Chains A and B, each alone.
Chain A
Amino acid sequence: MSDAEELAGVVGDLLAERLGPDTVRDLGRTWAADLWGELEGLGMTTVDVPERLGGGGGTTAEALTVVRVAGYHNAPIPLAESAFVGGWLKSRAGLPVSEGPSGTALCRNRSVYLDDSDGRPRLTGTVAVPWGRHARELLVVLEEGDATQLAVVDPAAAGAALTWTHGSNVAGEPRDEVRLTGAVCREVHDLPGVSIEDAHARAALGRAALMVGALERVVDLSLGHVTVREQFGRPLARFQVIAHYLATMTTQLVAARASLEGAARAAEESAPHEVDSMAVAAAKTRAGASAEVITLLGHQVHGAIGTTEEHELGLSSRRLWAWRDEDGDEQYWSGVLGRQLASRAYGSGLWPVLAPV
């Protein structure tokens, strides 16, 4: 058994115990603070942070495994946003791990301005921060000329300089926006070798892992349902068309999972903890394509019961509908992939790019 599989087992068992469908629903738009603390204590929120910074020193693939399992269990915690993206940003800036989730904000299009004129760096602008209301610190990624910077804001200290607007995605997860009015930064660091596009790709990779977990859950729920539910005197699974739906769903799941694993591997191969934006683009595109088919067929085999708030299918399908649009949808990432591949293939041909030696 690989380290990643072992990790999946440990985290999966814990989440299964803590998060029944009722718990996830009851938590609604808030979050599982205790669970976050528990996972933090186990080192599950800092899996691939280097040991010298207080992390587990694991691989990107291992960190993604934890995120995927969290997606499977609809975990109401910012594991992708805080742990997988925030933790990575901090370690790239050389910052040690700290307690509590961080909120990450990628300021593309210079939506936030850094004023460092009096030696006390301050931020002004408006930016989206998923799970922002629960964040112990804000990690704001900015582009300054050719460089990328990480500004850390302590929400408790910034006080009135932050104005929050609470929002949520279609799954009811917190999707907040914050207006910074000269908010004082605790610290500002360079992010060497990281572009804002890299950070965006890292976020998309975490999102794809959440999606693959949720896809797996919908397929499992559907497989369970069609073997138990009877219609016309036989289990649904005995109808050929239903069996074919499940075959198609499984195929779509396997494709999304394989593409995610490809991106995880590419992240390790390029350099430890790097992002390979083309592999990420493929993984997020593929996860979105699978989400379309799997939510469609998953709801179709469940029938009316699957459309109720009470049924757990909706916990996963709503997340998939939200997540496929977050951190870049299929159109965005397929455009990135198509553009990058075509330009790299120009002259040499496509094949040497796809199968390098």
Chain B
Amino acid sequence: MTAVKIGDRVVIGEADFPESARRLRLEVRAFLTRARADGRYTPSCDAWHVGFDPGFSAELGSRGWLGVSWPKEAGGQGGSALDRFVVTEELLAAGAPVAAHWVSDRQTGPALLRYGSRKQRETLLPEMAAGRLFFALGLSEPGSGSDLASVRTKATRCDGGWVLQGSKIWTSHAHRCQFVMVLARTSGRHGDRHRGLSQLIVDLAAPGVDIRPIRILDGSHHFNEVFFDDVFVPDGMLLGNEGEGWAQLRAELALERSGPERFMSNYPLLEALAREVAKHGDPQAEQTFGELMAEFTTLRRLSAGVAAEVDSGRSPTLMSALVKDLGTQFEHKIPDAVRRAVPAHRRTIETDLGRALRDAVLFGPGMKFRGGTNEILREIVAKELGL
């Protein structure tokens, strides 16, 4: 017998969806079915990342489906993490264009709730929950890659605020959002790593901000490089206390990692595959589809379990890293599984399956590093195991 028992360290949360979640699911599903029938949108893979539609986000906001778990005074619904889980998975399953508000709803909002000043919470959160105010994330830099603590963007004290100098990269939708949350050095030296870092709320329309597009494999424009040339950031726009940026970020990343978007980016492809399998009844295709579904149902259970853990006041670092590692590997292997299961002539670009497959293939490479590479996630799991 060994002294260390892994089973005792792993808590798989058990999600008991409350009645409120069931009602919410019905409402959201009915709305989405209608929106699709009315031609409001066409389902697509990775729509939580590429489907930027402010009108659609505002409509969701007006129905109370953004900031679901935020308190009422912040414009939210005072719901649970499981309520939010249900709304997000319905949106993802429908392939709805939700990229505009995704970051605000998932992490910037919760960060503001936790660390923001009263004024920030009062002015920003209700607008975010209404689907009118969108945030981009200013974390990565040209030289920093996954190593966020090595950021060189610097904010220097000045009269009434800070002067920001530096640049950010892979900033999704910076050209369409109003604000960006920037991780910057506010004290100490470059080599200090995570000491002396803060997060600043920066107005993307401010003088000195220059946004340049980066086009990805399918030719579309979501990513940007954002330059800050002596941009003035007023005092009131620092998040929490100076020097606490790293700690804030660690808590945010746990939220960023475990959500259903980490295994549902390619969900529309699974729907198309289900139709194909039912139509042709090929045993090989049935097996492939079944293997994917065994994985999907497991991930869904794990991800809902993390939400349930959050509702019980815990911060499941190990589980969220593990879910994202497993989830992104899963969504990444869907396209190739579909290729093996369905012959090429039945998945040409004229078919629903073929179109979903094309998107999944082209967006695929990004899925395994955004929000922390799989290798970094394994570092986190290993650390949590005490290795």
Contact = CB atoms under 8 A, between A and B. Distances in A.
Nearest to A212: B7
A341 to B, nearest CB: 6
A343 interface: yes
Interface string B99-140: 000000000000000000000000000000000000000000
B381 interface: yes
Nearest to A265: B14
A227 B305 CA distance: 30
Given A251-B326, A357-B22, A341 B293 contact: yes
A357 B2 contact: no
A126 B325 CA distance: 47
A357 B26 contact: yes
A183 B137 CA distance: 74
A53 to B, nearest CB: 29
Contact of B387 (A246, A281, A342): A246
A41 interface: no
A118 to B, nearest CB: 43
A234 to B, nearest CB: 12
A261 B12 contact: yes
Contact of B12 (A257, A289, A336, A339): A257
A259 B294 contact: yes
Contacts of B12: 254, 257-258, 261
Given A250-B322, A337-B294, A350-B270, A16 B1 contact: yes
A339 B297 CA distance: 15
B290 A337 contact: yes
Interface in B362-380: 375, 377-379
B37 interface: no
Contacts of B275: 345-346
Contacts of B325: 247-248, 251
B56 interface: no
A86 B291 CA distance: 29
A334 B298 contact: no
A157 B25 CA distance: 59
Contacts, number: 172
A350 B289 CA distance: 12
A223 interface: yes
A39 interface: no
A346 B275 CA distance: 6
B342 interface: no
Given A244-B378, A342-B274, A224 B387 contact: no
B298 A255 contact: yes
A322 to B, nearest CB: 20
A188 B283 CA distance: 36
B378 A334 contact: no
Contacts of A248: 325, 378
B286 A338 contact: yes
Nearest to A224: B2
A285 B294 contact: yes
A286 B286 CA distance: 16
Grouping DSSP codes into helix (H, G, I), strand (E, B) and loop, the B interface class, with mixed when no group exceeds half, is: helix
Given A244-B378, A351-B271, A354-B296, A253 B6 contact: yes
Contact of B290 (A265, A338, A354, A357): A338
Nearest to B32: A351
A221 B3 CA distance: 9
Contact of A339 (B271, B286, B378): B286
Contacts of A219: 6
Contact of A281 (B94, B271, B290, B319): B290
A342 B378 contact: no
Contacts of A289: 291, 294-295
B385 A246 contact: yes
B211 interface: no
A239 to B, nearest CB: 10
Contacts of A93: none
Interface in B28-81: 29
A43 interface: no
Contact of A337 (B293, B301, B377): B293
B286 A223 contact: no
A339 B286 CA distance: 5
Interface string A285-324: 1100100000000000000000000000000000000000
A16 B377 CA distance: 34
Given A335-B283, A335-B290, A250 B301 contact: no
A36 interface: no
A311 B10 CA distance: 26
Nearest to A73: B1
B182 interface: no
Contact of B294 (A16, A334, A343, A355): A334
A330 interface: yes
A257 B10 CA distance: 10
Contact of B277 (A221, A243, A281, A342): A342
Contact of A282 (B22, B281, B298): B298
Nearest to B277: A342
Nearest to B299: A255
A333 B322 contact: no
Interface of B: 1-7, 10, 12, 14, 22, 25-26, 29, 89-90, 93-94, 270-271, 274-275, 277-278, 281, 283, 285-291, 293-302, 305, 319, 322, 325-326, 375, 377-379, 381-382, 385, 387
Interface of A: 16, 216, 219-221, 223-224, 226-227, 237, 240, 243-244, 246-248, 250-251, 253-255, 257-259, 261-262, 265, 279, 281-283, 285-286, 289, 330-331, 333-339, 341-343, 345-346, 349-352, 354-355, 357
Rank and list the top 4 A-B pairs by shortest CB-CB distance, nearest first: A338-B290, A224-B2, A334-B290, A337-B290
24 contacts: A216-B6, A223-B387, A243-B387, A247-B325, A247-B377, A247-B379, A248-B325, A248-B378, A253-B7, A258-B302, A261-B12, A261-B14, A282-B294, A282-B297, A285-B290, A334-B286, A334-B294, A336-B290, A337-B294, A338-B288, A338-B289, A338-B291, A339-B290, A351-B93
